[in-house]
């Protein structure tokens, strides 16, 4: 039997922590902001996958693969020498987004929609905004360490995909979207 991994190492009690390479940084360093925001995003996606009914099984499976990719992305940002997000992950997001938009055809929205609708749609909206925050955190991290362009492409496509999936699920659940209506004052 293998030795259990200790969750509490007590090495971060003074406000610093280490990345995979072993280098230590203060906990407010951009690397921890980026990796922490990815962790938060992954948790929101976990909530969404827990809420998805069997009728959305293929979308649940795809989101599970996205969650795996977020772990790869976090490891890469934490300076893992072996773990790299692949361009194929970006391609899969683009294909999934295109497929959902084609399935919605004429019901695809080109205007600003109010966040929410269904519970799943609302949680996807939160996940999308956390994804955007993660993207901004990674851009900030790029000032400290080199971030490969595929990482930013992935996060950008992921936020698009989460919005499209939210629209698709709200549509499938027959929710009538509420559009933002600009009123002159």
- pLDDT for 118-154, tens place per residue? 899 999 999 999 999 999 999 999 988 889 999 999 9
At residue 91 the predicted structure's pLDDT band, cuts being 50, 70 and 90, is: very high
Give the Cα separation of 137 and 114 in Å (integer).
Answer: 25
Which pLDDT score, from 0 to 100, does residue 18 have? 60
pLDDT score at 154: 98
pLDDT of residue 126: 97
Neighbours of 25 (CB within 10 A): 14
CB 163 within 8 A of CB 112: no
Domain architecture of the chain: domains with CATH: 25-104+115-172 (1.20.1200.10)
Alpha-carbon span 108 to 99, nearest angstrom:
12
Tens digits of per-residue pLDDT, 13-49? Answer: 566 666 667 666 656 677 888 999 999 999 999 999 9
183: its two tokens: 């009123």
Strand partners, 179: 113
């Amino acid at each position: 039997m293998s030795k259990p991994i200790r969750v509490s190492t007590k090495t971060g009690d003074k406000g610093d922590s280490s990345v995979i390479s072993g280098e230590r940084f203060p906990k407010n360093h951009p690397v921890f902001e980026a990796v922490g925001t990815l962790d938060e995003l992954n948790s929101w996606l976990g909530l969404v996958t827990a809420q998805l009914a069997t009728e959305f099984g293929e979308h649940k499976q795809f989101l599970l693969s996205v969650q795996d990719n977020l772990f790869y992305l976090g490891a890469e940002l934490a300076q893992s020498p072996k773990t790299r997000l692949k361009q194929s992950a970006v391609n899969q997001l683009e294909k999934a987004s295109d497929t959902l938009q084609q399935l919605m055809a004429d019901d695809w929205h080109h205007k600003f929609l109010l966040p929410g609708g269904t519970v799943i749609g609302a949680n996807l909206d939160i996940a999308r905004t956390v994804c955007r925050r993660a993207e901004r955190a990674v851009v900030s991290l790029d000032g400290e360490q080199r971030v490969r362009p595929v990482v930013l492409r992935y996060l950008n496509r992921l936020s698009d995909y989460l919005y499209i999936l939210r629209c698709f699920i709200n549509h499938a659940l027959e929710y009538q979207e509420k559009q933002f209506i600009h009123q002159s004052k």
